[in-house]
Structure 1
Amino acid sequence: MPGSANHKFVLGALVACAAALLCLGAAAAGSAPAESPASAVSLFPVVSDARLAGDAKQTRFIVDLDSKLQHRVFTLADPYRVVVDIPQVIFRLPAGAGTSGRGLVKAFRYGLVMPGGSRIVLELNGPAKIESTYVLDAANGQPPRLVIELAAVDRTAFVQSLDAESRPELRPAVGSVDAVASVTAAARPAVVTPLDSRPVVVLDPGHGGIDNGTQAASGEAEKTLVLDFALALRDRIEKAGKYRVVMTRTDDTFIPLGERVRIARAQSAALFVSIHADALPRGEGDAQGATIYTLSDRASDAEAERLAESENKADAIGGVNLTEEPTDVADILIDLAQRETKGFSNRFARILMTEMKSAARMHKHPLKSAGFKVLKAPDVPSVLLELGYVSNKGDLKQLVSENWRTRTVGSVAQAVDAFFAKRVVSVGAPD
């Protein structure tokens, strides 16, 4: 076996040298070769294997690399997780890697979180601490390895090992309006008031990075389809010059749901539009057309509830902290603020439906509501637009069509105009 492996390695090296000589020859002839996907891939380290060893008291997670790299490891609670952040890599793991666990680890997942950064998330069976983490040099024919050693602990010890901002028990006991205000202010990013006084429209392409969203049978990923649509919509709205557009993401980056909401609030957004595409699970029939969702504690129907539950799991995919829930007092304040905001959100949803009917196929029940976390900014009118179903051939054909995108982008931009025109009139009208 070692001889066979060495033989393959030598052959691979010879092929690589031959390819390099061909490239040099082309460059000398005055024509630089176009960069191929394979050459781009080689710019990043490769993770070739990941496995678990040990038992329910002590478990070791081992990652095979082709070069040493820096890493950051931390734990999160509720659910118990270990998060491993590393520079961007290419994952070439065996099929099914991470779907089953061992010892303290239930399963693990991995992927690109942002340009330049990858992440591995270990789902734990219970509380555990990181005893040690290190990278081994290549030796005795074995590749460099990242090793993380875990040990079982009780919840108290686990919580004490967390960063202060991640500790569930360290959430402030809010007992007054002033305390709520101070906590909220501390949580928000610092914002410099812009000189630009135009209304701010935040466009939120769903998913991204490690979170692909839904995926068509032919391979098209929701995260890519909605980003293309959002970028085209941004360009269309900005062209009119009436509004300032802020994007929650402009590339294949994972953004936690809470951060999307914080971006809208930090920018004092006048409107937040989250853009998605849906898919029905196989065997559950067919559906088609665009749907517009607003926030509601009670879903308008079973399909809306299913979709909200699915979308709200995005943070779990990224391994972010899901423990920051508002206290009772904060709930009351948020509810008061949301009453007015809900009216504006519903108004924009109705306007958007009217405008889109002329450009896009709509769902048979185009207006729905459910408890989407991404719509929960209490002071920003927000809707979630499902452009269509990637599980429906007709919808998918439109979603990848530039002509359809141009028409539909135009109708959404018109809805934005109509919404702000009516809002200005309503604000200026006497009581």
Structure 2
Amino acid sequence: MTTQKFDLDSVLKALQDGKNLTGKDGALTPLIKQLTEAAMKAELENHLAESSEPNRKNGKSTKTVKGPTGAFELETPRDRAGTFEPQLVKKHQTHLTEDLERKILALFALGNSYQDIRAHIADMYDISISNGTINAVTDKLLPELQAWRERDLEAIYPIVWLDAIHYKIKENGRYVSKAIYTILALNIEGKKELLGLYLSDQEGAHHWLSVLTDLNNRGVKDILIACVDGLKGFPEAIETIYPNTEIQHCIVHQIRNSLKYVASKNQKAFMADLKCVYKAATLNAAEIALDELEAKWGEKYPLVIKSWRCKWPTLSAYFKYPDYVRTPIYTTNAVEAVHRQFRKLTKTKGGFANENSLLKLLYAGILKAQERWTHPIQNWNLTLSQMAIHFPGRLDDYIEL
């Protein structure tokens, strides 16, 4: 067989003519081939030199290897005794590196469909892969996901956001709606950390109780503030496991739910008055504004006003803090941002064949999101100082003052 030698001048000319550096017919492929064969030849010579038995070279065998720059025919040296085991490209190995698997996982983590992944890989590497191959590669995330879901957690989290997102999953031949429970927290350093993903048939306070029990079993002994949506029974579920946790109902969820019962022609005026409540500078000012809201709209929308009155203790918890503490806790926007990331990954999927196909995709998205969570949130040191005042003694063992 004639070996294609790497010639720098010809490669430069090929690039000038518009030929790709990597991918199908990549200009670098001959160089990768040469370097790999040279390294394997050196491996064999070293093996022969260290052998105590008579042995010598015995020609070459050829196989197609799929590498990061494209596929090529690799000539593997052999020995007469058959004791040579190449390490760079092992026997029966058909991929030069793990680069291909990393590329598949990277494309998967961006929400690409299997069809799109196949097209990308074919374009980049001139390799045809099946859905089964992609599935086998992405399934390697599952043991990692399980270990992540069972890992030990910190003893205290100053702020935790809890919310759910729903997906269609195939079960017994039909698609059913299931809830993914997402637990996002700020750790003692003020950095975001996703504590877990939990799947259930439906969102409900009873299942949240099992989620919170799992957090406790994994080491979470205290949560200072829990930011939640308006699910009935949610505060009671939290109180069962974490009786000293302060509940902050999400203002944004409350506003959305309120507007469902306000006629469209009145929504603009109603929102202007409602804004005076949740944007007030102090608790006293907020309560005065709520009285005024009731006086103006109470007869027309009694259910809306009643909802604000009933939930007022947990809706108004954030007023005791300065603005820089209020910002992260008065809404569940932080965890909803994670859900937006999930939706980007799953927007092309009408449903999922099973729970694992959904969970491994969401986990890939988590790994991507966590790359950006390297710094504390804004004003974290000031926020932590405020919490040390409002929750005396509970942070003493975890921060240096």
Instruction: Please indicate, yes or no, whether the TM-score normalized by the shorter chain is above 0.5.
Output: no
Higher strand share: 1
TM-score bracket for this pair, using the shorter chain length: under 0.3
Structure 1 or 2, whichever has the larger Rg, is 2
Q: TM-score, normalised by structure 2?
A: 0.26
Q: TM-score, normalised by structure 1?
A: 0.25
Higher helix share: 2
